[in-house]
Structure 1
Amino acid sequence: MSLGLVFIIMLAGAVMAVLWPLSRRRLAGEGSDLAVYRDQLDEVERDRVRGMIGDKEAEAASVELSRRLLAAAERAKAVAPEGGKGRRRVVAIIALFVLPLVSAVAYMELGRPDLPDQPLSARLSAPADQQDIAVLIGRVEAELQKRPDDGQGWEAIAPVYLRTDRPQDAVKAYSNAIRLLGPTAGREAGLGEALTMSAEGMVTPEAKAAFQRALALDQGMPLARFYLGRAADQSGDRVGAATIYRELVTEAPPNAPWIEVARQALAETALGEEGRAPAVDPQALAAATPENRLATIRGMVEGLEARLKETPGDLGGQLRLVRAWAMLGDADRAKAAAASARAALKDDAAAVRRIDDLMLGLGLRDGPA
């Protein structure tokens, strides 16, 4: 499609936008007034039926709205005065002939279709609220190329790199911020998180060292503590990981934004491999109809509960049963299952601790036993 044809289509659209309202004789606001008054009448009636206003108030409001509705209807019947017809003809002539002619002359004088697109540097100079995140990052990066020793700039862009899935760039940014501004708990923890994300979630020795440096500067820093718990879990130290997660959950202030992540980590650690097995048979569940699926799940969970009465020492089964009832939203049965599991395994302190940790991670227990 040629550029000239595109301009013709755009011009036709602009002309129609002007001529369409002129082709209608009804006054502009009257139709909307009628709709508003009708809606208000309906709303008064609904409020009367719901008992939100009394009959007398409803009757008075209805009378006033009806009066306004009739007046608006009378105005809507009126047409524009004869002088208005003349003005519409003048505007139509301008839209059909003068507007295209003036536009063509102006474009021939001022238009430059041969100019290239606006360069990136010009877009980067636009106000910040008119740019997307990629452009803003590019703007900061351009400044950092000019001033590589700007520690504040490196610190500002480092978490942005993390949020935009650029962990290796975040590693560089945090490292430069630490080199130029000195270490803080936040910078060291950010570096550790960036190193962990670069390793696809594995807490590497370098990341672990960064988290340890962060804790040396701030012993209560939740982010560093959480990742050290993950490092312990990944190394096979489930007890150490659970201890860290448990302390995070029990010490968390009200409405801490990271509390749910810590709870989930604690629950997963408490379950272990034997507790993560499904409590239901996937094949049997796949054969169930959508209407019967929930009943099928509950039936299988109840079957697990019956089996555990015969083999109460099955810790994995006990953990799966507690989690299954919690996932079904039945907190009472989850608590009852946990109480039965504790009683059955009371001589195994480690097992009891895992049951308590699972309950804490599921949000069904306020603190450790």
Structure 2
Amino acid sequence: MIFVLICGALVLLVGLALLKPLWRAAPGAGKRMTDIDIYRDQLAEVDRDLARGVLDKAEAERTRTEVSRRLLQADAAARKGAVDAPPRGSRIAAGLAGLAIVAGAVGLYATLGNFGYGDVPRAVRLAAAEERRATRPGQLEAEALAEQPDAIAQAGDETREILQALRAAAFERPTDATAYVYLAQVEASIGNMTRAARAQEKAISLLGEDVTSADLVRLLDFLVIGTRGYVSPEAETIARNILRDEPDNLPAQYYMGLVNAQNDRPDRAFSFWRPIVENGEQDVFHWRLAAGQIEDVAAQLGIDYALPSRRGPSAEDLAAAEDMAPEDRQAMVEGMVQQLSDRLATEGGPPQDWARLITALTVLGEEDRARAILNEAELTFGGDVQAVTLIREAARAAELIE
């Protein structure tokens, strides 16, 4: 109620300030009326001076004539001021304008605000965020809620044969960690993330003290991708364990920032992601994920944050090239495509370069060639779910695939 009263008072004051000129008389009208009174007093004074003998008749007549002339001018000015005063139509317009101000203020708050919403102190918000985080669904529950594609049906005949062979090998050698590592990679390559996560968990349990942070990061990727980007308590625990041994581990930092962003703690998410985007290796999949979200969490904190400049040509660079002259744009993009094609054909390269090549080909309008490059890249990085996801993300951004 206090908030409503304050807003109402502010609207009233603003309305009065805007509408007052429409209601008041023309400036100077009061002063003109005072001049008339003065000149009338002067005429009376001339008569008194004439009676007392201070002025003779000729001089009194001249003075009376001059004062009368000024009196007539003052009266004419007063009449003109009365005509300049706002007529009834102006005051009606002023009333309508006042109603419009009030209606506009109420309508704007109804759109952007929330009537009846009580105060939510920072301590209350933090407590609610912690409670939501503590009671959020577990990994298996989240996987059950996420839609899982029919990965086997979409896989090719050769991939299905390999997958069946690896499943059989893992079943026959239940203590062989390597069999489960390979199985997890192939399951992930066809998008079967839940099975990939189970196989990777089995591999980690068999590796024991030989498990590496790379093994744990791979499991983290499988768990989060399998729940459509949701970070479960189990995934958070893994990320915490990685950071305990490797405080600068970029993937674990990203997932810790993501779990905070998902639970109304943009402040913590920003503190995890800022070192990633400013100091991390930009060719890493998790860097791109953090870079794509940090500006949003910064905006929630009221921080005007801009990403540091990225290495190499980006999709934004290609979009900016569309404003160039057609010949210059064509030459620039074709040169980029040729350089990338030559290097990838002879030396290979990271998934980011394949993604740039797909984007450049799409800009050139060579969609068939871009699809061929996409298929080749998926075959090249088939066992690396991070690389395949990055490449497909670039193809989707270029509207090459849905």
TM-score (norm 1): 0.37
TM-score (norm 2): 0.34
Flag the structure with more relative contact order, 1 or 2, with Cα contacts below 8 A and sequence separation at least 6: 2
